């Protein structure tokens, strides 16, 4: 999936550089990246009625930053059973997963109805090797009453840092996540997750990130991530 | 929530020691711990038709271990708006959370229909200060195709380690989670999360855990957790 995403971003840039006007999220390309189904899947990284004013304002600010091409909004789909599932399984040859189970599968972060779970959009800056995730955690993500579950925060950190690793790194797997939770995040509030690629050593990618309130005044969490590029010739398990 | 859980466990033990026969999950107690609603909430830490043979076998093994009182099965409810929400909010005085949002809130790990998300049960051993979580991750928890999302694994690690901290520690918050992901976990497989309290220093509780396959042959992840006891006299934010 992530390797395909990289390839698609490159194609998109090449088309733009060649002077062809390409909409920010071209449905045909989107279909080719993420699915073999003939219907055009819904891009969930766009505003819906559940988005708060804070989330919409931040979204608009980042869409402006996309106008000069320095930032790009990354589309996001509920992944179902697709060709990429088969591609990925070649790395895990003894997976006992049966086709029926995969047919029900969907991306963890997109499994909820609008507003109840993870509402988010990720932007990418290729020059700076950074991703920024705008995230509103809904009422189904509760941990201690009134606040996000630590696991929901870890999930969005993994997604944001992972995307920052996957675009330059190809197919990558999380090897380590080290998260400092400094303040609990109120349910339904908006946070900004800033992630950057710090260094690459062989197949290892080292990243860091922080989670702040929409106004940047509160530092909620800090984290580091280590990701490993997968070797297409080897199986991991 | 967690403090109430501790108190309830103590009550349960006291009743048993006094020779009173108390069922493993007494509905009246359960209602008092987790909800002010008059209906008896459903305990989700019990087998349902989505549980695989592996999960049922492990569950039966641990239920046998409960017979001599060394282990206890911890019941689990979708938490909704309850008195404990109010209790907890006293620690976070400037929370802007409105009552309507809280009324929709539910525990992150219990927000799915049977079999689609987190199917799990946690057992606790008071003498050894250990928790064991039997976990089957459903198709809605997918990360890379065919495998659990790293965030879903982090979530169950947080839940298991957090419970191991909360029973001796009272109201605790996760301060750090450091997770090494060694092998990807196939979707719909069963894993066992073993967690233990390593030491207590003042308000800090240090814990560790590992995640293994049902037959214990594959080590999927290892993690450490640092939890902080909350001081009832102080607000965290």
pLDDT digits (tens, 9 = 90+) for B168-203: 888 899 999 999 999 999 999 999 999 999 999 999
Q: Do A96 and B189 touch (CB under 8 A)?
A: yes
Residue B16 burial (CB count, 10 A): 13
CA A121 to CA A187: how far, in whole Å? Answer: 18
pLDDT at residue B141 is higher than 70: yes
Q: Are the C-beta atoms of B109 and A151 separated by less than 8 Å? A: yes
Q: Do B111 and A112 touch (CB under 8 A)?
A: yes
Give the least confident one: A21-30, A225-234, B192-201. Answer: A21-30
Write the residue in B97, B142, B155 that is nearest to A107 by C-beta. B142
Kindly indicate the confidence band of residue B24, based on its pLDDT and cuts at 50, 70 and 90: very low
Write the residue in A85, A150, A186 that is nearest to B95 by C-beta. A186
Q: What does the pLDDT read at residue A41?
A: 85
Give phi and psi for A161, each to the nearest 5.
Answer: -65, -40
Which residues in chain B are contacts of A237 at CB distance < 8 A? 183-184, 218
Residues 43-72 of A with CB under 8 A from B: none
Would you say residue A10 lies in a domain? no
Would you say residue A224 lies in a domain? yes
Would you say residue A19 lies in a domain? no
Give phi and psi for B73, each to the nearest 5.
Answer: -80, 130
Highest mean pLDDT (candidates B79-93, B99-113, B119-133): B119-133
Q: What does the pLDDT read at residue B6?
A: 47
Strand A118-125 and strand A72-74: the pairing is antiparallel
Q: Do A173 and B162 touch (CB under 8 A)?
A: no
Would you say residue A21 lies in a domain? no
Q: Got the DSSP string for A81-95?
A: S-HHHHHHHTT-TT-
Which residues in chain B are contacts of A183 at CB distance < 8 A? 236-237
Residue A42 burial (CB count, 10 A): 13
Which residues in chain A are contacts of B156 at CB distance < 8 A? 151
pLDDT at residue B226 is higher than 80: yes
- Here the tokens at position B11 are 């009550």
| Helix (H), strand (E) at residue A32 | helix A27-34
Write the residue in B142, B162, B188 that is nearest to A106 by C-beta. B142
Instruction: Please count the structural domains in chain A.
Output: 1
pLDDT at residue A17 is higher than 90: no
Q: What chain B residue is nearest to A148 in terms of C-alpha separation? A: B108
Per the structure, the complete domain to which residue B111 belongs is given by 2-229
- Here the tokens at position A12 are 């998109």
Centroid of chain to Cα B25:
15
- Here the tokens at position B181 are 């992901």
CA B226 to CA B99: how far, in whole Å? Answer: 31
pLDDT digits (tens, 9 = 90+) for A151-189: 999 999 999 999 999 998 888 999 999 999 999 999 999
Q: Do A158 and B176 touch (CB under 8 A)?
A: no
Mean pLDDT of chain B: 81
pLDDT at residue A30 is higher than 50: no
Would you say residue A114 lies in a domain? yes
A139 touching B, CB under 8 A?
yes
Would you say residue B234 lies in a domain? no
A179 touching B, CB under 8 A?
yes
pLDDT at residue B215 is higher than 50: yes
Task: Give percent above pLDDT 90 in chain B.
Answer: 62
Give the least confident one: A56-70, B149-163, B223-237. Answer: B223-237
| Helix (H), strand (E) at residue A99 | helix A99-104
Q: Got the DSSP string for chain B?
A: -HHHHHHHHHHHHHHHHTT----TT-HHHHHHHH--SSSPPP--SS--TT--HHHHHHHHHHHHHHTTTSSEEEP-----S-HHHHHHHTT-TT----HHHHHH--BGGG-S-TTTSEEEEEEEETTTTEEEEEEEE-GGGBSSTTBB-HHHHHHHHHHHHHHHHHHHHSSEEEEEEEEEE-SPPBTT-EEEEEEEEEEEETTEEEEEEEEEETTS--EEEEEEEEEEEPPTTS---
**CATH number where B174 lies:** 3.10.129.10
| Active centre residues of B (catalytic) | 158
Would you say residue B94 lies in a domain? yes
Would you say residue A234 lies in a domain? no
ipTM for the predicted complex: 0.81
């Amino acid at each position: 999936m992530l390797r395909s995403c990289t390839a698609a971003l490159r194609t998109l840039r090449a088309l733009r550089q060649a002077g062809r006007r390409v909409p920010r999220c071209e449905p045909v390309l989107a279909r080719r990246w993420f699915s073999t189904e003939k219907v055009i899947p819904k891009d969930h990284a766009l505003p819906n009625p559940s988005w708060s004013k804070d989330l919409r304002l931040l979204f608009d600010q980042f869409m402006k930053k996309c106008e000069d091409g320095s930032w790009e909004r990354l589309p996001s789909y509920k992944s179902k059973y697709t060709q990429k599932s088969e591609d990925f399984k070649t790395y895990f040859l003894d997976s006992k997963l049966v086709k029926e189970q995969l047919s029900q599968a969907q991306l963890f972060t997109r499994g909820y109805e609008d507003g109840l779970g993870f509402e988010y959009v990720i932007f990418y800056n290729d020059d700076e090797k950074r991703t920024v995730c705008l995230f509103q955690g809904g009422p189904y993500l509760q941990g201690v009453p009134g606040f996000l579950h630590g696991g929901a925060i870890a999930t969005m950190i993994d997604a944001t840092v992972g995307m920052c690793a996957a675009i330059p790194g190809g197919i990558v797997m999380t090897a380590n996540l080290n998260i400092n939770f400094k303040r609990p995040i109120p349910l339904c509030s908006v946070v900004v997750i800033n992630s950057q690629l710090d260094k690459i050593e062989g197949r290892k990618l080292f990243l860091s990130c922080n989670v702040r309130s929409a106004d940047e005044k509160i530092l909620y969490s800090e984290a580091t991530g280590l990701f490993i590029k997968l070797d297409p010739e080897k199986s991991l398990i």
